[in-house]
Chains A and B, each alone.
Chain A
Amino acid sequence: GAVVSQHPSRVICKSGTSVKIECRSLDFQATTMFWYRQFPKQSLMLMATSNEGSKATYEQGVEKDKFLINHASLTLSTLTVTSAHPEDSSFYICSAIRLAGQQETQYFGPGTRLLVL
């Protein structure tokens, strides 16, 4: 089946540094990917929609300058948390849309756990 990978799986960084998280669709092309964050024992909150070759669309309340998204190819989207602070510590999950004719399937990555000290 289709697989979506994320790298790294976990990262610890110092406050003020930037962290890049990669999301890859391994055996299919994805023009659309999504980024979510999940706080402990809470639900997934959609952050933004990543569109290949164009700017990402951010959900209300998500700072686009804080969370930079680049969808440079049909198999890769990156999320960069700029000037990270402890409150950015969270579990970040991406998903990728696989289109086969009219059939659309969304596959989720395993997530990246970010801890900002």
Chain B
Amino acid sequence: AQSVTQPDIHITVSEGASLELRCNYSYGATPYLFWYVQSPGQGLQLLLKYFSGDTLVQGIKGFEAEFKRSQSSFNLRKPSVHWSDAAEYFCAVGVRYSSASKIIFGSGTRLSIRP
């Protein structure tokens, strides 16, 4: 069955430092992969997605993610974090359902920023 694992529950990094959030997936076919961010009291916002093609995906707010099939990973990176990046981050896999994909979410990683 399809699943997504985010091994880090909570990460704290200093403002200006680089960031990498880990994500591993389990899916039999070529996955659709997503990263979403959820700020307190806010809805989900799509940061980036991978469907096919270039395995290094650029997203909004300076985020990028790299799809590594051999490692079943889709880690999210940012070279320099800002205090406004503090939020909950969800990795997700899209499972093809008829004419649309249902999304299975990982457990999330809470990012805190140290001033």
A→B interface (CB under 8 Å): 31-32, 34, 36, 41-46, 49, 93, 95, 97, 99, 104, 106, 108-111
Contacts and interface: CB of A to CB of B under 8 A. Distances in A.
Contacts of A109: 43
A46 B90 contact: no
B107 A43 contact: yes
B104 A32 contact: no
B101 A104 contact: yes
Q: Kindly name the residue among A42, A93, A104 whose own CB sees the greatest number of chain B CB atoms within 10 A.
A: A104
Given A97-B99, A97-B100, 14 more contacts: A32-B98, A42-B107, A42-B108, A43-B90, A43-B105, A44-B90, A46-B103, A46-B105, A49-B102, A95-B103, A99-B99, A104-B99, A104-B100, A106-B100
B31 interface: no
Contacts of B101: 97, 104, 106
A56 B90 CA distance: 25
A32 B102 CA distance: 9
Interface residues of B, number: 19
A80 B94 CA distance: 26
Nearest to A57: B97
Interface in B60-115: 90, 94, 97-108, 110
Interface of B: 36, 42-44, 90, 94, 97-108, 110
A95 B42 CA distance: 14
The 10 closest A-B pairs by CB, nearest first: A97-B100, A110-B43, A32-B100, A108-B44, A44-B105, A43-B107, A43-B105, A43-B108, A108-B43, A49-B102
Contacts of B42: 110
Contacts of B107: 42-43
B94 to A, nearest CB: 8
A39 B99 CA distance: 29
Contacts of B44: 44, 93, 108
B72 to A, nearest CB: 19
